[in-house]
Structure 1
Amino acid sequence: MPITMADVAARAGVSKTTVSRVLNGKGELDPATAARVRQVIQELGYVPSAGAVSLARGRTRVLGMLVPSFSWPWIGEVLQGVADAVEEEGYGLLLFSCSKGEESLQRFASQASAKTFDGLLVIEPEGTLDFIAGLHRSGLPVVLIDDRGHQPEFPSVATTNRGGAQDAARHLLQLGRKRPIVVAGPEELGCTQERLAGFAEVYAQAGLPLEPWRVVDGDFTFEGGRAEIGRLLRSARHLNAEPGFDAVFAHNDLSAAGAIQALREAGLRSPGEVAVVGFDDVPQASHTDPPLTTVHQPLREMGETAARALMGHFDGTPLAAEPIVLPTTLVVRGSTVTHAP
């Protein structure tokens, strides 16, 4: 039979409350009593459960994390950053997804009500921002990862979407690419708007404003990027004309990979006829053919930063009122230059 707190209390001649206070360092205790309890703990080999210690402290030492789906290409990188941070600090992690829509959200809501975790990290599932804000207003500490331009009322960790897109545009212009196509993400997302605005600004400043037809919706998927670029190429072929673009800037790496596939199917080379730039720098980006030039989001660092901010809050460090913004960097590979560094 495992040794329990009641066994320790009985052997030491004290209450279970006193044993709990010794374990957690709470309350005024007679030094001799505390020493006797610690001696009994050692003699009996009592190992308190993490749950018992956490309950006595009024905390679970567990973080919750809510994500749209675990199948998103970059979710794994963010999760690894979170996991590294919580493991180092001795916290646990409960993962929730909204892959089943309302059913998943209700299951998550019941866990939040039961206070099975101390605070929440969120990669926002579509349409849940108001719900998450309500949890925050009710007292649950929340940190949003990748605010997608929403800038919510609670703390967040974001990246430089506009600046990253500007870097992509400058790179293409330096290569002499003056006729780009933008394969955009979903229009309602703030990150889509920021990436489109940053890219368009640089081309406009160069005297090359983007015509509306040069922006197509690739919906952040491989098939979306492939379909849109394929459609433009077929239209040009139907008119017996050359493609009207010499570059593609895709708002994520999946749609960029789809664009490369469409070019290959049409007998065009990248970067020869058409240079391609993505966004995110997921692990697969360096393994496309050719390897993808892309805007690197510090995904793992975003997860780690958010987790450390939330855990720091429980140790007395106030959560930042303004978003924590981590910079993007352009990673140049073979989809834009023949001899990439």
Structure 2
Amino acid sequence: MQKLGSMKYQVESALKVINYIGQSKHEAKKKIGSNKVTGIYSIKYFRKVLGSSILFSQFAKREFKIKSIFELQPEHHAAYIDELQQKEVTKGYLTNVESHLLKLQTAMRLISEKNHRKPVTFMEKRLISWKDKEKPKDRSYTEEEIQKLEPHFSRAVATAMRMSLNLGFRTVTICNIRVEHVVTQEDGSLRIEIPDGKGITKGGRFLYLNVSSSYAPELIGLIKNKGPKDKILPLKENTLRQGLKRACEASGVESAGFHGFRHTYARRRLEQIMGDRFTEGKIMIDYILKNRDRGRRMDDGISKDPLDPYRKSFEWVQDCVNIVHGELGHGKSRWALVAVYMS
């Protein structure tokens, strides 16, 4: 009889079926014609799914004496969520765990189908609603906080901060973008072009972004005398995190993580794009997000008439936030992300 191996080994083996790290999630969505994909394209997310799945399977082995992940049942899922709730973890953590377990179930289903066996369904439905998650918090840094932090950064970390503030980059992109990704256009302006984001962007997504004229001189200085394959800022992500931690301790500014500078970029860009109509735009965004929180359509209560002023405002706001989404590498009309980045 074939040995099953540890729960950790079984989970790792199962998740290999949906491991598409290094491939483009965007291209996968285009290929299947849907925003929902079965695979995992980000190494960071893969690790999260792996960790949650191992802990769940080990719990089921310990409490229910199962020997195989294909013995998992809905009662195991319910008991595990109950145990986590007893530990008073956040609703956000619980919804993320259930998302991770759904990925494990998908991998197991694909294995069962391949072996012509009945799929195992240990998670019939979510027990924690996304509506119960904590309200999104503003994770951006104010101008005053940035001014307090910058003197406590090393020159390299301060440069990385400005890159995030001006281009909206994650730490992985800051540390891995190369000179060849900065393209000079016919009019002399600069553009970021990353057609293959493997190892550079989240999930290996492509990224195209115009560089503002105010930031272009600094970027030109950073790439001067470097080869096309050279990294613009050869830093480690942990260097940025530790640099921010020290600066926060020295300045008294509460840390929102290095990702907070990306949030600041998003809010600045939205205000810049909306211009004089920013107040109008914010009112409409609040209205849309209230509809979302109530489980309604985003445009609920707004006339379908294309000439109606409120319909025009709704469409305009959608266009504005989608510009920012595109610059951040997000998909269009991601209102959950609008709540986090732009509300």
TM over 0.5: no
Structure exhibiting the larger radius of gyration computed from Cα positions: 1
TM-score of the superposed pair, with normalisation by structure 1: 0.23
Q: As a proportion of its length, which structure holds more helix?
A: 2
